[in-house]
Amino acid sequence: MARFIFITGGVVSSLGKGLASAALGSLLQARGFTVRLRKLDPYLNVDPGTMSPFEHGEVFVTDDGAETDLDLGHYERFTGVPACKTDSVSSGRIYSNVLEKERKGAYLGKTIQVIPHVTNEIKDFISIGEDDVDFMLCEIGGTVGDIEGLPFFEAIRQFSQDKERGQCIFMHLTLLPFIKASGELKTKPTQHSVKELRSIGLAPDILVCRSEGPIPKKEREKLALFCNVRPDSVIAAQDLSTIYDAPLAYHQEGLDQAVLDAFGINPAPKPDLRKWEDVSDRVHNAEGQVNVGIVGKYTQLEDAYKSIAEALTHGGMANRVKVNVDWVDAELFEAEDPAPHLEKFDAILVPGGFGERGTEGKIKAAEFARTRKVPYLGICLGMQMAVIEAARNLADLGDAGSEEFDHEAGKKRFTPVVYHLKEWVQGNYKVTRSVSDDKGGTMRLGAYNAVLTEGSKVAQVYGSDAIEERHRHRYEVDIQYRKQLEEKGLIFSGMSPDGRLPEIVEVKDHPWFIGVQFHPELKSKPFEPHPLFRDFVRAAKENSRLV
């Protein structure tokens, strides 16, 4: 039976609750415990799959095909535990389940209410798989006081009462603003936030306080007194230069010890932190640097490509270099020479994306990388763009394009070398789709196998000829152009096991040019960098030596 840690936030959003939860998970693992992390989001979307990356940041995809919040990416990167469908839920999903049950007559005769029907649905969700791990960490999105969050707060309050005494604890993350004029760290917003929590029946056991600098003893004691927590359960979360210092920093502050104390786990098993010491050493002691240009569309919000940025950092750690990432808006050079924008980079990455905007710029970036022999990694849309570029410029298909951009009925602008996939195989099942399907949750999602061509670059990079990677896309490269493209040097070096769907392409006689239909960034970890990112950064390093 798991012990539960509920993580809430107050004062302001974006305090790094996800990171704190992930770091705590990794520290409990370092002490020999098993963990699972979950995110409960109060918004009404059923999942973030249909939200704009500008608004919500990246959509993180799990092996079992759930489109989830980017915090699940942090959880995986810090604990290495693959997240699944049952690790992420929103109010939208909860309400839609309740309403579906109501229509089926599951509550026949009853008036459906937030308490108990919605709260019961939330509680059922929290307890899925509770016998499988030592600790279940559940993060509640948003901040205390949000109207939408109330059913979740009420549900976790009830949940802790349903369980044995001491089986659940509450950790609350807040901000201690520093007022320059008076030179003081202010505790009042935290006091108010805890008051708000207590008014809905929740008393925090642990306070994690974000602050620019250390928390002096006086403020710590004040917080403990006014917020009714023990002084050693007031944990400072100072700003860090890298997120990968978080496990060690939280450990030094005593977070994991405070958690074990709160559960009465005594004596506490000693932690083995060697893994994180190595990670931290690699981040801080890089022996050089490389410059990578990411040519994308959602460049104003870095969170839109969160996992890619992290995977590049991991690739840098593996090669002991710092990876400087520059975000380049693909629209900048749709009508001009991309060279002035791209020449400064040691390698170019074109990430995933949706819609036509910016695609001509991405095609130009692929052409620049291919012809100038600059290392290129194309991910999902980035692979599709590389194929279109090769079709246009190498295989005499001047009007090659993607069906994704030919949405006006009857007006065909392109020869679709990338087409809308309507039928495919997933495990032992056939999946079918039509153009009129819902937008949410209808893509080719989650983990699929691919078979790699012996002797190819990717087979060498992976050190294997069979891989499994996560997907999130609607369109596919058309196999019928394979021969034509391979004759011109674009090799289809990874295919779905049934040989129908191109999964990887690479350019022959190029130092490093690989396009993948899947999202390798989702599986990269600081202590286990993804082979493609490790090798891509190695190629960038090699290229930087040449110039």
Quick one: 43 or 475, whose CB is closer to ligand GLN? 475
Which DSSP string do the residues of 189-231 spell out, in sequence order?
Answer: HHHHHHHHHHHTT---SEEEEEESS---HHHHHHHHHHHT--G
* Candidates 84, 138, 227, 380; catalytic one: 380
Q: Where are the beta strands (DSSP E) in 380-534?
A: 400-402, 415-420, 423-426, 429-432, 444-452, 466-473, 475-477, 490-495, 502-507, 513-516
The amino acid that residue 109 corresponds to is G
The DSSP code for 512 is: S
Helix (H, G, I), strand (E, B) or coil at 118: helix
- The dihedral formed by the CA atoms of 98, 102, 103 and 108, expressed in degrees to the nearest 10: 160
Quick one: 28 or 383, whose CB is closer to ligand GLN? 383
Count of residues engaged in binding ligand GLN, rule: CB under 6 A: 10
Segment interacting with ligand GLN (CB under 6 A) among 46-54, 295-303, 369-377, 466-474:
466-474
Q: CA 365 to CA 544: how far, in whole Å? A: 18
The amino acid that residue 160 corresponds to is S
Segment interacting with ligand GLN (CB under 6 A) among 357-365, 457-465, 467-475, 482-490:
467-475
Contact indicator for 182, 194 with CB cutoff of 8 Å: no
CB atoms within 10 A of CB 203: 14
With CB under 6 A as the contact rule, the residue among 380, 386, 452, 514 that binds ligand GLN is 380
With CB under 6 A as the contact rule, the residue among 69, 205, 403, 404 that binds ligand GLN is 404
The least CB distance from residue 352 to ligand GLN, in Å, is 3
The amino acid that residue 179 corresponds to is I
Site for ligand GLN in 159-178 (CB under 6 A): none
The amino acid that residue 342 corresponds to is L
Quick one: 473 or 530, whose CB is closer to ligand GLN? 473
Segment interacting with ligand GLN (CB under 6 A) among 25-33, 248-256, 346-354, 425-433:
346-354
With CB under 6 A as the contact rule, the residue among 11, 381, 514, 522 that binds ligand GLN is 381
Quick one: 95 or 354, whose CB is closer to ligand GLN? 354
The least CB distance from residue 473 to ligand GLN, in Å, is 3
The least CB distance from residue 354 to ligand GLN, in Å, is 4
Q: Categorise residue 280: left if φ over 0, alpha if ψ from -120 to 50, beta otherwise.
A: alpha
Quick one: 440 or 511, whose CB is closer to ligand GLN? 440
The least CB distance from residue 407 to ligand GLN, in Å, is 12
* Candidates 314, 389, 521, 530; catalytic one: 521
Quick one: 159 or 475, whose CB is closer to ligand GLN? 475
Token pair 């760290």: residue: 185
Contact indicator for 140, 152 with CB cutoff of 8 Å: yes
Site for ligand GLN in 347-366 (CB under 6 A): 352-354
Helix (H, G, I), strand (E, B) or coil at 160: helix
Q: Are strands 400-402 and 415-420 parallel, antiparallel or unpaired?
A: parallel
Quick one: 457 or 474, whose CB is closer to ligand GLN? 474
Catalytic: 121? no
The least CB distance from residue 405 to ligand GLN, in Å, is 10
* Candidates 251, 510, 519, 530; catalytic one: 519
Quick one: 46 or 383, whose CB is closer to ligand GLN? 383
The DSSP code for 4 is: E
CB atoms within 10 A of CB 390: 28
In terms of Cα–Cα distance, which of 360, 387, 367 is closest to 484?
Answer: 387
The amino acid that residue 441 corresponds to is G
The least CB distance from residue 362 to ligand GLN, in Å, is 10
Name every residue whose Cβ is closer than 8 Å to that of residue 330 and which is 6 or more positions away in sequence.
295, 296, 297, 350, 358, 359, 360, 361, 362, 365
The least CB distance from residue 387 to ligand GLN, in Å, is 12
User: Which single residue brings its beta carbon nearest to ligand GLN?
Assistant: 352
Catalytic: 403? no
Site for ligand GLN in 74-93 (CB under 6 A): none
Binding of residue 36 to ligand GLN (CB under 6 A): no
Quick one: 220 or 470, whose CB is closer to ligand GLN? 470
Binding of residue 474 to ligand GLN (CB under 6 A): yes
At 300, list the tokens: 């104003």
Helix (H) / strand (E) containing 98: helix 91-104
Token pair 């059913």: residue: 151
Binding of residue 473 to ligand GLN (CB under 6 A): yes
Site string (475-514) toward ligand GLN, x via CB under 6 A? x---------------------------------------
The least CB distance from residue 353 to ligand GLN, in Å, is 5
Contact indicator for 526, 77 with CB cutoff of 8 Å: yes
Catalytic: 542? no
Name every residue whose Cβ is closer than 8 Å to that of residue 527 and which is 6 or more positions away in sequence.
80, 275, 278, 279
The least CB distance from residue 529 to ligand GLN, in Å, is 21
Segment interacting with ligand GLN (CB under 6 A) among 20-28, 202-210, 471-479, 495-503:
471-479
The least CB distance from residue 44 to ligand GLN, in Å, is 24
Active site residues: 380, 519, 521
Residues in contact with ligand GLN by the rule CB under 6 A: 352-354, 380-381, 404, 472-475
